[in-house]
A and B are shown apart, each in its own frame.
Chain A
Amino acid sequence: MFARLLYESFRRQKRRKLLAAVAITLGVAVATAMIAVATDIGDKINRELRSYGANLLITPQEDTLDVEIGGINLKPPSDGNFLSEADLPKIKGTFWRNNILGFSPMLPANVSLGKGQEATLVGTYFAKKIAFGKEHFTTGVRNTHPWWKVEGAWPGDDSADVLLGDQLARKLGDHAGDTVEIGGQTHHVVGVLSTGGAEDGQVIAPLHVAQQILGKPDAVRRVYVSALTKPEDALARRDPKSMSGEIWDRWYCSPYAQSIAYQLQEAIPHSHAAQIRQVAQNEGTVLSRITGLMLLITLAALFASALAVSAAMATAIFERRREVGLMKALGAGNFAVAALFFAESTLLALLGGLVGFLTGSWLAHRIGRSIFDSQITIQPVLFPLIMAIAVIVTFAGSAAAIRRAVQFDPVFALRGDA
């Protein structure tokens, strides 16, 4: 009898059930999409923050002082120590290798450009293919320095082509496609580089060109590393030397800028690695503000959809006082009536929840695709959680209305005084 009542209720009141189900579906869809986006936004924004460029810098351990003003190197070129280019692939062999999005070595050299012009030439990787063990990856300034804009083409890493900074190009009157004489050798200018920084007055060349000019094969002056890091907290700020075993393990295995720098130092012989504080320190604040904002908005959205679902459920039950009156007049107890309504609510919640979850996942997917150009992962654990929330909210929304409906005198209900 109970099952038949339930079945008939759904069969005969399609419009009402549909309205309630639509409300639940929408509420659940928004809740799912918002939770999925809010849990994933930290990772997404962290990647976007990498557009500020490298956050770690590796330099030779026993280095002499840099004497550099406005990007012009005033130190004798062969002075100081160098890192070895052959060691660089080891960066991808560290514990947090998957967090390291790219690195660019730099090797400055002072060169004469003919016509009495002096300039700094910087050798680097543009998009170099590197192998470490079985892993292949591409790295260079094109991913660590995304604000570098080239008019013309990027040079190949194995070619002898160069880029001219736009101020230097203007001074020399050169354009992409011209040739430039560097230290007595002719090089093709394939593009003009604009960065808004010191590079605008420099020549940028593949690393081996700079090594050849300095006569130091395999030498690298410094390496910029772009890594996904975790915002700094109390543990990150502690001195690793003062940590005991367990805490040290936790520090070592957290992707703090400090611990990644520590591991880079371990991987590359005779090196010193440190965070570039301008980039690394500010990431944390911006990241926590944005994730905090999304979290609060998600809370507000959850609250709003819960209230909306409750209102819809209350309305749906309110409409059915006459039915309650009839059932009670025929001898149904309060418990039987309430049970029927709760069963209906649960069924609606499960149905609406399922459709809502699928819609919400799709929405989150679309948001990820269109805004961040990447997948938003939906944790499987979200499904039971969402279903539970849907059932609880629907229950809570119906409870007050069901109580009032059950308490209503059947005589009035049937007479139509509802």
Chain B
Amino acid sequence: MSATPQTPPSVAERRAAAPHPSMFLRMLVRAAIMRRGRAVSALLAMVVAAAVATAMMNLYVDVQAKLRKEFRSYGANVVVVGKAGGSLPPEALHMVESVLGGRGMAMPFAYVVARTAAGQSVVVAGTDFERVQKVDRWWSVSAWPSTAGEALVGMRALSAVSPDRKPFDLSFQGHTIHLTPTGTLQTGAGEDSRVYLAMPDFLAWTGVQPSTIEIAANGSSAEVNTVVNRLSQVFADADVRPVRQIVEGEARVLGKTRATLYASAILIVLTAQLCVLATLTGWVFDRRRDFAIMKALGASEKLISGFFAAEAAALGAVGALLGFVIGIGIAAWIGRVNFNAPIVPRLSVLPVVFAGSIAVALLSAVVPMSLLRRVQPAIILKGE
């Protein structure tokens, strides 16, 4: 309010006709309009800080869930194995699925040692190809079997059972099955030495129920632990255990990533806030002439403090809202580019950002205010 320019009568008339807001509000609004440039640059700093804070908080929460999903491509993290290699009850798979409640996938495996026509021993496994295809995505398979009588043959087993890729016979306890090698399987591990059949074929041939159920359970390590505990209650006569190789590897990598993300978030948010502090402090300090005039005109210290505080708070609030929207946008963009999935905007972040922004804005008004309070208005008005 340092100097109100001479206004043409038409404006004065319009003003007289307009409803009079309180002086306090008018001072706030006019201050923002008169010093547009300054207000905009202070607001910009505020918006950047709020946007960065919003984006980092959103990412920090969401990225962990996204990364967990990526880690599930390592396959099963829990196994249920019959005691001493024995079979599990026929309804075991249903029992596992009711415990999982849709938050994961279970794959049954049954194993026998069969003989080829040449008399060589080979491990034959029965499983559910549809489920395996979804969970064990690292299996390199030339073609998945789809109809009865088709088999998936491991790369190393191929030379023993069907070197010329023609249909072959396998026998188990006097029963013989005739199979077509539809596809070959390569994993670089034990699976390469086995022949895989669809479960109905396997059951009809051997009558052996699954002895192993491999489970890819979704969720945090605490949630996986709950699944393990509930499964051990359901399967009293089987071993239920987490696959330590997968669970611990995941925990370790995720932990390090989370720590890095956390450190970067703190670093970035802190810097943005400090820049806001620097900008706003300069802004308030620069308005010492307004301060002096108000004081000279007889405003109480309380009123002036209130005025500056309200101004800073308003700036913080507007900055927080704009920044929140932009921050959500940044987080969504990062989610799209990196994980091919949008990041869900979290409204729970808003109050934190809102309160934080206002607090920082108020803090940056307090420091120069306490400096100015000690100075005589006359000195400021005289110019330095």
Q: Cβ of A300 and Cβ of B52 under 8 Å apart?
A: yes
- Please provide the chain A residues from 60 to 82 with a CB less than 8 Å away from any CB of chain B in the complex: 63, 65-70, 72, 74-75
A152 within 8 A of B: no
- Supposing A26-B275, A297-B264, A367-B263 touch, asked if A416 and B289 sit within 8 A by C-beta, the answer is yes
Q: Which residues of A contact B246 (CB under 8 A)?
A: 52
C-alpha gap A293/B64 in the complex (Å) = 11
Q: Cβ of A404 and Cβ of B252 under 8 Å apart?
A: no
- Please provide the chain B residues from 229 to 273 with a CB less than 8 Å away from any CB of chain A in the complex: 239, 241-249, 252-253, 256-257, 259-261, 263-264, 267-268, 271-272
Q: Which residues of A contact B337 (CB under 8 A)?
A: 292, 296
Q: Cβ of A26 and Cβ of B271 under 8 Å apart?
A: yes
How many inter-chain contacts with C-beta < 8 Å in the A-B complex?
A: 243
Name the one of B44, B157, B285, B338 contacting A65, with C-beta atoms under 8 angstroms. Answer: B157
Nearest chain A CB to B289 CB, angstrom units: 7
- Supposing A74-B121, A296-B338 touch, asked if A319 and B286 sit within 8 A by C-beta, the answer is yes
C-alpha gap A294/B257 in the complex (Å) = 9
- Please provide the chain A residues from 301 to 351 with a CB less than 8 Å away from any CB of chain B in the complex: 301, 304-305, 307-312, 314-316, 318-319
Name the one of B137, B190, B259 contacting A371, with C-beta atoms under 8 angstroms. Answer: B259
Nearest chain B CB to A324 CB, angstrom units: 14
Nearest chain B CB to A285 CB, angstrom units: 6
- Please provide the chain A residues from 1 to 59 with a CB less than 8 Å away from any CB of chain B in the complex: 15-16, 19-20, 22-23, 26-27, 29-30, 33-34, 37, 41, 44-45, 48-49, 51-53, 57
Q: Which residues of B contact A70 (CB under 8 A)?
A: 81, 85, 111, 211-212
Q: Cβ of A29 and Cβ of B140 under 8 Å apart?
A: no
Q: Cβ of B188 and Cβ of A311 under 8 Å apart?
A: no
Give the secondary structure class of B's interface. helix
Q: In this complex, what residue of A is CB-closest to B139?
A: A277
Q: Which residues of A contact B137 (CB under 8 A)?
A: 281
Name the one of B55, B75, B186, B256 contacting A300, with C-beta atoms under 8 angstroms. Answer: B55
B: contact size bracket: 35 or more
- Supposing A65-B122, A147-B245, A300-B52 touch, asked if A293 and B256 sit within 8 A by C-beta, the answer is no
A124 within 8 A of B: no
B138 within 8 A of A: yes
Q: Which residues of A contact B3 (CB under 8 A)?
A: 416-417
B344 within 8 A of A: no
Q: Cβ of B45 and Cβ of A308 under 8 Å apart?
A: yes
A112 within 8 A of B: no
Q: Which residues of A contact B279 (CB under 8 A)?
A: 23, 308, 311-312, 315
- Please provide the chain A residues from 114 to 154 with a CB less than 8 Å away from any CB of chain B in the complex: 145-147, 149
Name the one of A19, A275, A289, A307 contacting B48, with C-beta atoms under 8 angstroms. Answer: A307
Q: Cβ of A67 and Cβ of B338 under 8 Å apart?
A: no
Nearest chain A CB to B254 CB, angstrom units: 9
A195 within 8 A of B: yes
Q: Which residues of A contact B186 (CB under 8 A)?
A: 274, 277
- Please provide the chain B residues from 125 to 150 with a CB less than 8 Å away from any CB of chain A in the complex: 136-140
Q: List 14 A-B contacts (CB under 8 A).
A: A15-B285, A34-B264, A37-B264, A52-B246, A65-B120, A69-B123, A70-B111, A278-B138, A282-B74, A292-B338, A311-B41, A316-B282, A371-B263, A401-B41
Which 10 residue pairs spanning A and B have beta carbons closest together? A196-B244, A308-B275, A52-B249, A311-B45, A277-B138, A66-B193, A281-B138, A276-B188, A292-B338, A147-B244
Which residue numbers of B lie inside 8 Å of A, CB to CB? 2-3, 37-38, 41-42, 44-45, 48-49, 51-52, 55-56, 59, 63, 66-67, 70-71, 73-75, 81, 85, 111, 113, 120-123, 136-140, 156-157, 160, 186-190, 193, 211-212, 239, 241-249, 252-253, 256-257, 259-261, 263-264, 267-268, 271-272, 274-276, 278-279, 281-283, 285-286, 289, 330, 333-334, 337-339, 383
